[in-house]
């Protein structure tokens, strides 16, 4: 059985193309065959407004769904012997919580965990950059996006631990880490460029971004033979290599030719692919719709967040339900973890601990050829907690990272999973990515 979990504001249709890729890679066995059957199930309970309720409550709801699906399979005379799960965007964090619950319940004592995958997931939370927009987002996001927003930006305290849920899920020797480590294969798929929602550093949990200053010359990129957007390898060129690249002289152009070359690229999306006269109608109503949009969107977020907070408060008031939830049992689990960690720490040399990072290191990112820190302007401002998450997650066994490089693109976040190909033709660029993802799954 393989499950899929969608992202923020999403629904299961966003992973429809991913499900199709899996079914094409693993077709149903012929009647009477003893070959295993791959049952693809896309979780339905976390969609749109429900995604404001937090990673933890989203995970609890999804596990209830998985329980029902497993029960239905068993009642049909079949048996679930292996389990895989893929999470896209926010769904990747929810998937990490799901496998923690399943491990806690003993699900993996009878069912083998095989493939765990995150695609464009903020594995270390959402990042902060040296921009006005990023500053505003970090101040408003935890409020406008409900419980999920607080967890995205590391402003929450999971089960009164004093640590954010995203950090708790990254702790070595913890329940969530052990759950991930138990999978035969852990696949991490990250956009290297143009992901305005989940940048490379968080999706791939790496300390710096080598792609943020890409100019067409400074990187040596090698792509997979059957997918022009999946990197096989990359290398940052040094200054001497870049200086040796010949500069092609620009041909002389007339004024008309120059103006034609400056036409902006069309903006992808269903509204911008309309034919005449819809473009003109859209432009005519823009002065009316733009103010409504600027006022309506924050208002919608605030109202959705308020509804979510009320919904979560009601869920947490149900004492009987809370005793069955992972967060309700966390205090007891935490005590056991602390004892285990103390025993391990006595046997581990101090040098094995992750090195501390100075403020300069946290903000420096890529180094120049002479060893001096590069400008931090384009690099995220990672917190000490995010550095710890990066260090811990990069010790996961059986892990493979894949970098998707979709260039040019306005925003590659939806393209990587071919989210809405019928409405946005650009999303079809992700078909090859999904084909490789399905091919690399272990049966």
DSSP string over 259-315: HHHTPPPPPPSTGGGPPTTHHHHHHHHHHHHHHHHHHHHHHHHHHHHHHHHHHHHHH
Range scoring the smallest mean pLDDT among 125-139, 246-260, 399-413: 246-260
Q: How far apart are CA 249 and CA 292, in angstroms?
A: 47
More confident residue, 368 or 114: 114
Query: Considering only CA atoms, which of 158, 154, 180 is closest in space to residue 87?
Result: 180
Average pLDDT over residues 87-99: 98
Q: How many H-runs (helices) and E-runs (strands) does the chain carry?
A: 16, 8
Would you place residue 366 in the very low, low, confident or very high pLDDT band (cuts 50, 70, 90)? very low
Average pLDDT over residues 156-160: 91
Q: Is 346 helix (H, G, I), strand (E, B) or coil?
A: coil
Would you place residue 357 in the very low, low, confident or very high pLDDT band (cuts 50, 70, 90)? very low
When the pLDDT of each residue in the chain is averaged and rounded to a whole number, the result is 84
pLDDT higher than threshold 50 for residue 252: yes
pLDDT higher than threshold 80 for residue 162: yes
Residue 32's pLDDT is 76
Residue 50's pLDDT is 85
pLDDT higher than threshold 70 for residue 4: yes
Average pLDDT over residues 71-75: 96
The phi and psi torsions of 46 (rounded to 5 degrees) equal -105, 95
The phi and psi torsions of 30 (rounded to 5 degrees) equal -65, 155
Query: Which of 171-175, 177-181, 372-376 has the highest mean predicted lDDT (pLDDT)?
Result: 177-181
Query: Considering only CA atoms, which of 89, 126, 196 is closest in space to residue 382?
Result: 126
Residue 57's pLDDT is 92
More confident residue, 314 or 441: 441
pLDDT tens digits for 41-56? 999 988 878 899 999 9
Residue 326's pLDDT is 82
Q: What percent of the chain has pLDDT over 70?
A: 79
Query: Considering only CA atoms, which of 61, 46, 148 is closest in space to residue 98?
Result: 61
Q: How far apart are CA 144 and CA 305, in angstroms?
A: 6
Residue 353's pLDDT is 40
Helix residue ranges, H only, 4-161: 16-25, 55-75, 90-105, 132-144, 146-152
The burial class, CB within 10 Å (0-12 / 13-18 / 19+), for 173 is middle
pLDDT higher than threshold 50 for residue 103: yes
pLDDT higher than threshold 80 for residue 296: no
pLDDT higher than threshold 90 for residue 300: no
Residue 369's pLDDT is 42
- Domain segments of the chain as ranges: 2-245+265-347+384-439
Would you place residue 259 in the very low, low, confident or very high pLDDT band (cuts 50, 70, 90)? low
More confident residue, 241 or 105: 105
**Beta strands, E only, 147-218:** 185-191
Q: How far apart are CA 381 and CA 128, in angstroms?
A: 5
pLDDT tens digits for 114-142? 999 999 999 999 999 999 989 999 999 88
Residue 335's pLDDT is 55
Average pLDDT over residues 150-172: 95
Q: How far apart are CA 315 and CA 325, in angstroms?
A: 11
Query: Considering only CA atoms, which of 202, 161, 153, 181 is closest in space to residue 54?
Result: 153
Q: How far apart are CA 167 and CA 33, in angstroms?
A: 45
pLDDT higher than threshold 70 for residue 267: no
Kindly give, in sequence order, each residue whose CB lies less than 8 Å from that of residue 5, ignoring residues fewer than 6 positions away: 15, 43, 46, 58, 62, 85, 86, 87, 88, 91, 92, 94, 95, 98
Average pLDDT over residues 408-430: 96
Question: What sign has the CA pseudo-torsion 153, 179, 2, 193?
Answer: positive
């Amino acid at each position: 059985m393989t499950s899929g979990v969608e992202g923020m504001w999403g629904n299961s249709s966003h992973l429809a193309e991913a499900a199709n890729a899996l079914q094409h890679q693993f077709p149903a066995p012929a009647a009477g065959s003893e070959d295993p059957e791959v049952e693809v199930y896309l979780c339905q309970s976390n969609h749109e407004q429900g995604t404001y309720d937090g990673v933890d409550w989203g995970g609890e709801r999804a596990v209830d769904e998985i329980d029902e699906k497993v029960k239905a399979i068993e009642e049909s005379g079949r048996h679930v012997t292996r389990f895989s799960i893929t999470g896209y965007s926010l769904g990747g964090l929810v998937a990490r919580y799901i496998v923690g619950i399943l491990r806690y319940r003993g699900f993996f004592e009878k069912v083998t965990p095989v493939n765990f995958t995150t695609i464009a997931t903020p594995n270390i939370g959402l990042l902060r950059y040296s921009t006005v927009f990023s500053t505003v987002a970090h101040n408003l996001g935890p409020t406008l996006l409900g419980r999920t927003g607080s967890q995205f930006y590391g402003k929450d305290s999971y089960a009164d631990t004093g640590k954010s849920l995203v950090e708790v899920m990254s702790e070595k020797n913890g329940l969530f880490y052990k759950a991930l480590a138990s999978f035969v294969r852990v696949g991490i798929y990250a956009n290297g460029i143009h992901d305005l929602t989940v940048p490379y550093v968080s999706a791939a949990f790496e300390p710096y971004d080598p792609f943020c200053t890409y100019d067409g010359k400074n990187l040596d990129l090698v792509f997979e033979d059957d997918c022009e957007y999946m990197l096989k390898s990359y290398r940052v060129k040094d200054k001497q290599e870049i200086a040796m690249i010949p500069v092609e002289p620009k041909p002389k152009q007339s004024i008309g030719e120059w103006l034609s070359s400056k036409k902006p690229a069309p903006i992808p999306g269903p509204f911008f692919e309309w034919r005449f006269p819809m473009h003109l109608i859209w432009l005519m109503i823009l002065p009316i719709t733009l103010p409504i949009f600027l006022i309506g969107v924050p208002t919608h977020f605030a109202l959705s967040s308020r509804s979510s907070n009320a919904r979560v408060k009601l869920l947490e008031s149900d004492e009987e339900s809370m005793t069955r939830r992972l967060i309700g049992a966390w205090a007891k689990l935490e005590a056991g973890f602390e004892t285990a960690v103390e025993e391990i720490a006595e046997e581990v040399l101090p040098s094995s601990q992750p090195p501390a990072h100075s403020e300069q290191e946290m903000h420096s990112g890529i180094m120049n050829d002479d060893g001096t820190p590069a400008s931090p302007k384009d690099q995220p401002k990672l917190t000490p907690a995010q550095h710890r998450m990066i260090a811990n997650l990069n010790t996961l066994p059986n892990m493979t990272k894949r970098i998707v490089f979709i260039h040019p693109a306005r925003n590659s976040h939806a393209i990587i999973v071919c989210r809405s190909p019928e409405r946005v033709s650009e999303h079809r660029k992700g078909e090859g990515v999904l084909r490789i993802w399905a091919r690399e799954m272990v049966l």
